[in-house]
Structure formats: C-alpha cells, structure tokens
Amino acid sequence: MNAMDTHLKQAQQLGEEQSIWFKLSPLLKGNTDNPLRILIQMTERYGPVIPVNMGSERVVLITEPALFKHVLVTKADDYIKYFDGLKPIFGKAMITHDGALWQKIRMPQQPAFHPDAFGDYIPFFVAAIKTKMDQWGEYAKTGETFEMVEQTWTLAADMICKALFDRDMPFNPHVVFKYVKMYTDVQEHKGIRQKKQSGEQFEITEADAAKAMEAWASVPPAVIAADPRDEREKTLLKLIQSCVADPSIPEFDQQQAIDEIKQYLWAGTETTALTLAWALYLLSNHPEAAERVIAESEAVLGDREPTAADYSALTYTRAVIQETMRLYPPVWGLIRIADKPDNIGGVDVKVGDRIVLFGYSAQHNPKFWDEPEAFRPERWMDKSAKRQVKYSYIPFGAGKRSCIGGAMSQVENTLALSLLLRRFRPEYVGPVPAPINATVTLTPKGGLMFRMHELNKTA
C-alpha cells in the first residue's frame, strides 16, 4: 500500500459509523446553535448517569463531579483512553496509550513542563506574540475582517515551535491548520458519506481528506530537519531525541519521537488557540473587562517585556483565561472505555462501554456556580465567593492523565492577552452568542470573525 492509499484509508476514520464522534452526533442535533444544551437537558431529565444504547455498544454519559473523580482518579486504571479515528492525528503518541507504556513515555518528558522551566520559555512566547502583532498591525491598517481561531492557532504553534523545539515554524501554519481542521470536522465527514451515497456532488473529497493527512505527516520531519533557532541545550525536542537514544526505553523509537511532535503540535495548540480566541470574543463583548486587562498590563508590565514574576502578578488577566475555559472548555467531554465491570452512581457498567465525562455540563451547573452563564472573571479572585466543588472544573482533565501542558498554556495565553490588548482592540463582528460546534473539541461554528483596531489610532 503506498502512502496516499494509507492516508486515504485513515482519512475517513473519525467520521466512520463506529466512531464515538459519529455516534454522538445524533444526540447533539436538536439545538443548532449550542448542541451541548441538549446533553444538559438530558441530564436534568434523566440524572447524572445516562446509559444510551447505540447499536452494538453503549455510551454512558456522566455529569457529576464526584463521578468524574471515580473514573479519572479512584478507578483510573479500569478506564482506558479512547482514540479511534484520532490515530492519524496523534499516531502512537503517549496521549493514546495506557498503563506502563504510557508511563514510560510520559515520565522522561515531564521536566519540560515543570513550572521552573516557564521562565526560560517566556522570551520565546513573547517573540511569537510580536510576530502576531506585526500581522495584526497589517489587519488594523486594511480594516479587513478575519477569522480568529486560525490566528490564535498560528500563534500557539509558533510558541510551541520556538519555546519547546527551538525552531522557527518550518511549515506554513495556515495550510496545516486548514488541513487538520478539515479532518477533525466530523460533520463534514458524515456529510461526505451521505452525499456520496445519494449520488450528490460534494466539495471535500476523500482524496482531499487523505491529502490533509499526508500534509500533517510531513510536519514532524520538517521540525526535526529545521535549523535550531538558538542552539539551546534544554528543550523538549532534545529530551525526546535523548529518549530515542536511550537503550533502557526501546519502545521510544524514532516513530515515537515523530508522533510526540505531532501530539504537541495539535493537543498543545488547538486547545490553547481556542481558549485565546474565545477569551478575545468574551472581552470584545465585555469592554469593561477588556479595560481591566489593559489597566493591569500597563500597571504590571508598563513598556517592559514580561518575566515569570509578571505572570504571577497578572491576576485579573489569568482569571479571564480561567473563566473562558469554564464557559468554553476546549475539551467539552473526556472519553474512556471501561476495561473492567463497574457500577457508577447505581448504574452497572459493562466492559467496552464508552464513558463520556461531560465536563461542560458541570462547569455550567448552577449547583456549583453562581450565575453559571455569566462571564465573571472576578469569581476566580474572590476568596469569599461560593466555594468551588472539587472536580466541577476540569478543563485539563483530572488524575494522572490530566494535561501535561495545562499550566504552561495558562502562561502562554495570559501573556498573549496582556500584550495583545495593550496595543490592539480586537472587535468581534459575528453573531452573539456565537454558535458552537461540539465535535472532538468545542469550536465556534464557522469561526469567530474579527476586525482589528490599533489602540493609539482609535483612542
């Protein structure tokens, strides 16, 4: 089988009938502007554990924080990761593994994500933010409208390449972004198949989706082959390469290294980019909050470049990022497969059941949050406010499989927001509320359209 055939075979998997993303789509149909509302209504009606029979297998929807803890922490070893259909994106990266193999691959990479390393990364985050500012300066001049998630994705990818790999992005991020999006848009895949069955014309062909996967596969080799930017000694890429050379971990071969790079360039960018784009959307609709971000930036940073200490001092800006991830968690649901029989909240779970931990629902539940639909960054600063229930906020997951880069992403996004809003006023020009799509991640349907203004020119 040649490379194109392999990609053609892989390209359809995410939208195949046996994929959970495909199976969940009929459940998410009723409210076209926010399909997750339907799941919340189901929870209100049927309780915190809802088994749904879907052909040959069962999906069990879970919405209570205490039950998230049961699956993610207490019985973590009895629930394995679900990655069908996403293998072409992640290959055999650690995010897809379980047990001893997962541990062998994750542990040596952990030091690159320790908060002590963040200070070293900040100049590289800032370099990427400055490149983005040059582009936004051009948008401000022309007054044209543009889609924000693509913008924040190219920024997040640049930050990862510079800070973790010591590379300037050796690929065209706009092309890669469009290709991978084409693949992850499950609805599109479903549409392709349905249109094909009914003999209709369709725009994205299977060969296009395969081409997308081929383009994605070419990215890690380009990263490895590119010249180092600063010849730094301590980078994640060097850690990964030293794992390949380490005979005590034979599983960490060259393909593993390639797939780890893929993982960081998608798991570490799409989520970060969605958070920043949603934060800009919320701030455009809440100018008083945007003013507070600007005032904090001026008070803490002035005209200086940020340091690690400044990150700690940007408390309101950080709260904006936390509140954004509460309202728009990029990973709206975590998926596991039951590996042992169990009982969750009185419901028997069978081996093979697909478990969907519906974090979005807990994060919007008035039981756990005052005025859950309100954008109130202050709630993260006010110690006297209603105490949060543990596991009612899980944007990075929980337990041993929680996000390796969660803390780092908050540094990236807090600094980006602080520096970008000091110079620009991004104006959201789309519908409010922005309609959402819930596939693998929670994305704005049709994107988030913005127009850019330079502050000193519009003030």
Residue numbers at the binding site for ligand HEM (CB under 6 A): 94-95, 106, 160, 263-264, 267-268, 271-272, 275, 330-331, 334, 395-397, 401-406, 408-409
Residue type (1 letter), 281: Y
CA dist 384 and 210 (Å) reads 53
The CA-to-CA distance between both ends of the chain, in Å, stands at: 61
Closest CB to ligand HEM among residues 209, 442 = 442
Closest CB to ligand HEM among residues 7, 336 = 336
How far apart are CB 211 and ligand HEM at their closest, in Å? Answer: 26
CA dist 65 and 390 (Å) reads 7
The Cα angle at residue 36 between residues 30 and 38, in degrees rounded to 5: 45
User: DSSP code of 405?
Assistant: S
CA dist 317 and 294 (Å) reads 9
Closest CB to ligand HEM among residues 11, 356 = 356
Secondary structure of residue 56 in the 3-state scheme: coil
How far apart are CB 443 and ligand HEM at their closest, in Å? Answer: 13
Cα dihedral 15, 16, 19, 22 sign: positive
Secondary structure of residue 110 in the 3-state scheme: helix
Closest CB to ligand HEM among residues 7, 104 = 104
Closest CB to ligand HEM among residues 318, 425 = 318
CA dist 113 and 45 (Å) reads 41
How far apart are CB 384 and ligand HEM at their closest, in Å? Answer: 27
Looking up tokens 């082959």 gives: 225
* Length of the chain as a residue count: 459
Closest CB to ligand HEM among residues 140, 334 = 334
Please give the radius of gyration of the chain, using alpha carbons only, rounded to the nearest integer. 22
Peptide bond into 433 cis (omega under 30): yes
What's the order of all strands across the beta sheet hosting 424-428? 145-147, 449-454, 424-428
Closest CB to ligand HEM among residues 8, 408 = 408
Closest CB to ligand HEM among residues 209, 356 = 356
The answer to whether the CB of 349 falls within 8 A of the CB of 60 is yes
How does strand 347-349 pair with strand 145-147?
A: unpaired
How far apart are CB 44 and ligand HEM at their closest, in Å? Answer: 24
Residue type (1 letter), 95: I
How far apart are CB 94 and ligand HEM at their closest, in Å? Answer: 5
How far apart are CB 137 and ligand HEM at their closest, in Å? Answer: 26
Residue nearest to ligand HEM (CB): 405
How far apart are CB 455 and ligand HEM at their closest, in Å? Answer: 26
Closest CB to ligand HEM among residues 79, 139 = 79
